[in-house]
Chains A and B, each alone.
Chain A
């Protein structure tokens, strides 16, 4: 059993990429944390902002180029040239999402709702929001705030806290 004295009590998770696997890694960890009764704060920055941007959040892709983990169905090699063909990345991404749906892993917006229902908080990085010229209304409605990394660190501390970068 876990040692209660050194147990993780709080996680601050930073997601900087927009690929399905990066975003879902952050979301699964965040949801897992609130389900274990931990405090959890999520910070989306740079391309990770796609996960909390209304227009993009449910259209994430997994890259089919430059992804050495990519395999053909059945496990064979996935040639890089194949990944460059228009539509292939969209198809692969669709398969990824279908695979997750089968495991009862929800779409991004619903997953974020589950996390905030458990007390988790979602923040957007001010620098990245400014850089991509996004407005508050472009972001998912339940984003708790557009803040600096300094603000985020300020709320990330405390006994048994961990900062995780995906």
Chain B
């Protein structure tokens, strides 16, 4: 575990940069993390992040397949929004823990 400054706040993150406490998440924190990942964050990104946070709050596991059926965008779209890590990067920016699914 480490502490990192994100959007002007000291926030606990894991070694790989995932938030330790999902309650530390704000839109500004997501913006700061997106910048680090060289992602230009848009409204579409936030729609995906809100969806992930909502599912996570309900205790539902996340898969790329489910995310692709969210109605926000399809799987191709997810790869465009989060290049090189459609599930990992979106989870990270949504402030939830690293996905434990193989799909």
Contacts and interface: CB of A to CB of B under 8 A. Distances in A.
Interface in B46-103: 61, 63-66, 68, 74-76, 79, 83-88, 101-103
B74 A117 contact: yes
A106 B65 contact: yes
Interface of B: 15-16, 61, 63-66, 68, 74-76, 79, 83-88, 101-103
A104 interface: yes
Interface of A: 1, 28, 31-32, 34-37, 103-106, 110, 113-114, 117-119
Contacts, number: 46
A118 B84 CA distance: 9
Contacts of A106: 65, 103
Given A28-B103, A114-B75, A119-B79, A35 B64 contact: yes
A117 B103 contact: no
Interface centre among A1, A110, A118 (most CB of B within 10 A): A118
6 contacts: A1-B15, A31-B103, A37-B85, A104-B61, A117-B68, A118-B75
A124 to B, nearest CB: 22
Contacts of A104: 61, 63, 65-66, 101, 103
Given A1-B15, A28-B102, A114 B66 contact: no
A159 B86 CA distance: 23
- Please provide the 9 A-B residue pairs with the shortest distance between their CB atoms, ordered closest to farther: A37-B84, A117-B75, A117-B76, A104-B63, A104-B65, A118-B79, A114-B75, A105-B103, A37-B85
Contacts of A117: 68, 74-76, 79
Given A114-B68, A117-B75, A35 B63 contact: no
Nearest to A115: B75
B66 to A, nearest CB: 6
A31 B68 CA distance: 14
